[in-house]
């Protein structure tokens, strides 16, 4: 009897143990799922904190390194000055006597004007009483000087001539044409105003304050009117730039927000600047680098299709925004666009993850992508054939091993993790990511257009918003001209001044190519 009771009790305990183990397994699974959700939330919070308070890029811009070093360099300058003065006192030299000479002749640009001064000794009589000493040579040093920006008044006189005998005809030269007829500014001043805003990120109201310090009273509306008049005359330039882009076989495209006022509501609505760029310098191409901005009230792929209407290119290098997918289904004589996706965007995902979670898988992915960039660095600027050969020999084996490695990692990690999401992102765009392997003209990323669009973002931050949608379109046109000048190493102020003058004085439309930024002299050339 006791044995039967013990057996029953034993079976009951076994069943209770099995139930407890099953319950424990459920709790452990729930705990693991909760822990994964917690890590995911921590990653998202970390990313939000980094995006709000941290650096915008996974690598520091060189200028960011300068900020903490500037105070050190100032302190070093104070120390150097103190040591130099002490050394002069010890060696018995006056403050004006020269110590160690840090020659800089030949380092300053030759086109800068030189103002010479000659410093003679207090006396050129020989201390021994021999009389006047002879000049046997000289020491020459060059220092970089600055004078405040100076405005000047350009006075134009047009004499009148008449015949004193017949008192008939009167002769006078025609008044030259100007962007602002009978107005205050020269074309050079208008060019300066445009570049200050659309190149140097100075809104009109700040420029007005700068002019006020020199006693020139100009309001924001006046400066905006000048820029608008120039924009009207520069439209043929932008249209010809578009024709060049339409003939390019490979383009870059990107977009960024452009806040504009919503008339009647007094609020700001979100528009977008779309950038289309061509830059063949990476493979030694002869085509000029160009960037053209367009404004659109939204980010839909229909805007991209509209901006590219009539273009004859084959490849479009873009990020993975799904709005571009519709371009792959267009019916065109050249066939649909072939999208080339960006390795830099994929890398950023793993960099964010590695920063926030120290994931070894993310760090390994970063190393593999870095190897691709190292190969590209060795052939940058080389011909498409050389680039293609290097990619076939070195990049293709890396990518051939990377895809199955991604798939293996994906099968071993939680499907809901951020790491899995990033891997799926890469695999979903694998065809576009690997398209560069088959054409030496293609780039690994969309950095050329991102670099071109960055100044527009800075101008947008300083100006807060465009006044209205028409203003945003004009903003896009002027930004296109200034940005293209910079891509071609051209002084945008000098270019705009001379180009506006040429257009207003009747430069023929049939010769508009002569007025393109890439036809203008380079920045290194002396100004007239």
Q: Are 187 and 178 in contact (CB under 8 A)?
A: yes
Provide the pLDDT for residue 131.
Answer: 84
Rounded Cα distance between 151 and 161, Å, is: 32
Q: What angle do CA 74, 76, 77 make, to 5 degrees?
A: 65
The token duo for 343 is: 């390795």
Provide the pLDDT for residue 440.
Answer: 94
Quickly count helices (H) and strands (E) in the chain: 15, 7
SS3 category, 125: strand
Provide the pLDDT for residue 470.
Answer: 67
Q: Report the pLDDT averaged over residues 58-64.
A: 47
pLDDT (tens digit per residue) in 305-364: 999 999 999 999 999 889 999 999 998 888 999 999 999 999 999 999 998 888 899 999
pLDDT (tens digit per residue) in 471-508: 778 888 999 999 999 999 999 999 999 999 999 988 99
pLDDT at 68 over 50: no
Q: Report the pLDDT averaged over residues 100-106.
A: 47
Q: Report the pLDDT averaged over residues 211-222.
A: 86
Say which residue, 66 or 93, is predicted with more confidence.
93
Rounded Cα distance between 1 and 111, Å, is: 116
Confidence of residue 467 (pLDDT cuts 50, 70, 90): low
Distances (CA, A) of 490 to 3, 434, 447, 484: 101, 35, 21, 8
Provide the pLDDT for residue 67.
Answer: 40
Provide the pLDDT for residue 407.
Answer: 94
The token duo for 353 is: 């993850």
Residues in the chain: 528
Q: Are 260 and 465 in contact (CB under 8 A)?
A: yes
Residues 6+ apart with CB under 8 A from 217: 211
- Ordered by start, the domain boundaries in the chain are 249-455
Residues 6+ apart with CB under 8 A from 368: 398, 402, 405
pLDDT at 283 over 80: yes
Q: Report the pLDDT averaged over residues 220-225.
A: 86
Provide the pLDDT for residue 262.
Answer: 64
Q: What percent of the chain has pLDDT over 70?
A: 82
Q: Report the pLDDT averaged over residues 434-446.
A: 94
pLDDT at 174 over 80: yes
The token duo for 287 is: 């085509």
Rounded Cα distance between 435 and 440, Å, is: 10
Strands (E), 173-314: 250-262, 267-278, 290-296
Q: Is 151 exposed, middle or buried (0-12, 13-18, 19+ CB in 10 A)?
A: exposed
pLDDT at 63 over 80: no
SS3 category, 255: strand
Confidence of residue 468 (pLDDT cuts 50, 70, 90): low
Q: Are 373 and 351 in contact (CB under 8 A)?
A: no
Q: What is the DSSP letter of 394?
A: I
Considering only CA atoms, give the Rg of the chain: 34
Rounded Cα distance between 386 and 391, Å, is: 9
In which residue are the tokens 């103190």 written? 82
Q: Where are the alpha helices (DSSP H) in 340-468?
A: 343-357, 360-378, 384-390, 396-412, 418-428, 430-433, 447-463
Which of 278, 321, 443, 447 shows the shortest CA–CA distance to 372? 443
Q: Is 314 exposed, middle or buried (0-12, 13-18, 19+ CB in 10 A)?
A: middle
Q: Are 174 and 137 in contact (CB under 8 A)?
A: no
pTM for this prediction: 0.75
Q: Compute how many other C-beta atoms are within 10 angstroms of the C-beta atom of residue 278.
A: 25
Q: Are 338 and 36 in contact (CB under 8 A)?
A: no
Provide the pLDDT for residue 103.
Answer: 46
Confidence of residue 524 (pLDDT cuts 50, 70, 90): very low
pLDDT at 104 over 50: no
SS3 category, 300: coil
pLDDT (tens digit per residue) in 130-154: 888 888 888 888 877 777 677 888 8
Rounded Cα distance between 301 and 308, Å, is: 11
The token duo for 520 is: 């203008």
pLDDT at 230 over 80: yes
Q: Report the pLDDT averaged over residues 229-244.
A: 93
Rounded Cα distance between 484 and 249, Å, is: 19
Q: Are 340 and 435 in contact (CB under 8 A)?
A: yes
Q: What is the DSSP letter of 485?
A: H
């Amino acid at each position: 009897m006791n044995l039967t009771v013990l057996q029953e009790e034993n079976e009951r305990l076994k069943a209770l143990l099995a139930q407890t183990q099953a319950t424990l397994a459920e709790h452990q699974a729930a705990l693991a799922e909760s822990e994964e959700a917690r890590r995911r939330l921590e990653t998202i919070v970390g990313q939000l904190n980094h995006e709000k308070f941290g650096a915008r890029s996974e690598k520091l811009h060189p200028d960011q390194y300068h900020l903490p070093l500037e105070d050190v360099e100032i302190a070093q300058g104070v120390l150097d000055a103190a040591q130099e003065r002490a050394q002069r006192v010890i060696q018995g030299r006056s403050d004006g006597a020269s110590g160690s000479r840090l020659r800089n002749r030949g380092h300053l640009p030759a086109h800068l004007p030189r103002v010479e001064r000659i410093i003679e000794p207090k006396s050129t009589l020989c201390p021994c009483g021999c009389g006047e000493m002879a000049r046997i040579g000289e020491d020459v040093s060059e220092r970089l000087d600055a004078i405040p920006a100076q405005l000047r008044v350009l006075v134009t006189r047009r004499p009148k001539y008449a015949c004193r005998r017949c008192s008939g005809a009167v002769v006078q030269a025609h008044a030259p044409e100007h962007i602002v007829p009978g107005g205050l500014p020269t074309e050079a001043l208008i060019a300066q105003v445009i570049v200050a805003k659309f190149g140097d990120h100075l809104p009109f109201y700040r420029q007005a304050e700068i002019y006020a310090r020199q006693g020139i009273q100009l309001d924001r509306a006046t400066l905006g009117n000048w820029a608008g008049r120039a924009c009207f005359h520069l439209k043929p330039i932008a249209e010809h730039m578009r024709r060049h882009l339409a003939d390019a076989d490979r383009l870059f495209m990107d977009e960024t927000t452009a806040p504009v006022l919503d008339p009647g509501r007094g609020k700001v609505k979100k528009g977008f600047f779309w950038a289309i760029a061509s830059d063949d310098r990476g493979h030694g191409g002869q085509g000029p680098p160009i960037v053209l901005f367009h404004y659109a009230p939204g980010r839909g792929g229909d805007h991209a299709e509209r901006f590219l209407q009539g273009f004859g290119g084959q490849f479009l290098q873009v990020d993975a925004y799904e709005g571009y997918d519709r371009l792959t289904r267009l019916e065109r004589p050249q066939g649909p666009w072939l999208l080339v996706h960006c390795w830099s965007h994929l890398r950023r995902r793993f960099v964010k993850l590695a920063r926030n979670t120290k994931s070894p898988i993310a760090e390994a992915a970063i190393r593999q992508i870095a190897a691709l960039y190292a190969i590209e660095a060795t052939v940058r600027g080389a011909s498409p054939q050389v680039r293609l050969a290097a990619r076939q020999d070195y990049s293709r084996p890396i990518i051939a091993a990377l895809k199955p490695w991604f798939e293996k990692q994906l099968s071993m990690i939680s499907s809901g993790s951020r790491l899995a999401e990033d891997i799926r992102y890469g695999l979903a765009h694998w065809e576009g990511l690997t398209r560069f392997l088959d054409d030496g003209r293609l780039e690994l990323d969309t950095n050329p257009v991102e670099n071109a669009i960055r100044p527009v973002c800075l101008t947008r931050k300083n100006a807060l918003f465009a006044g209205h949608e028409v203003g945003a379109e004009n903003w896009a046109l002027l930004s296109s001209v200034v940005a293209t000048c910079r891509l071609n190493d051209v002084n945008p102020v000098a270019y705009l001044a001379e180009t506006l003058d040429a257009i207003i004085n009747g430069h023929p439309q049939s010769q508009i190519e002569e007025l393109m930024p890439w036809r203008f002299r380079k920045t290194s050339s002396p100004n007239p």
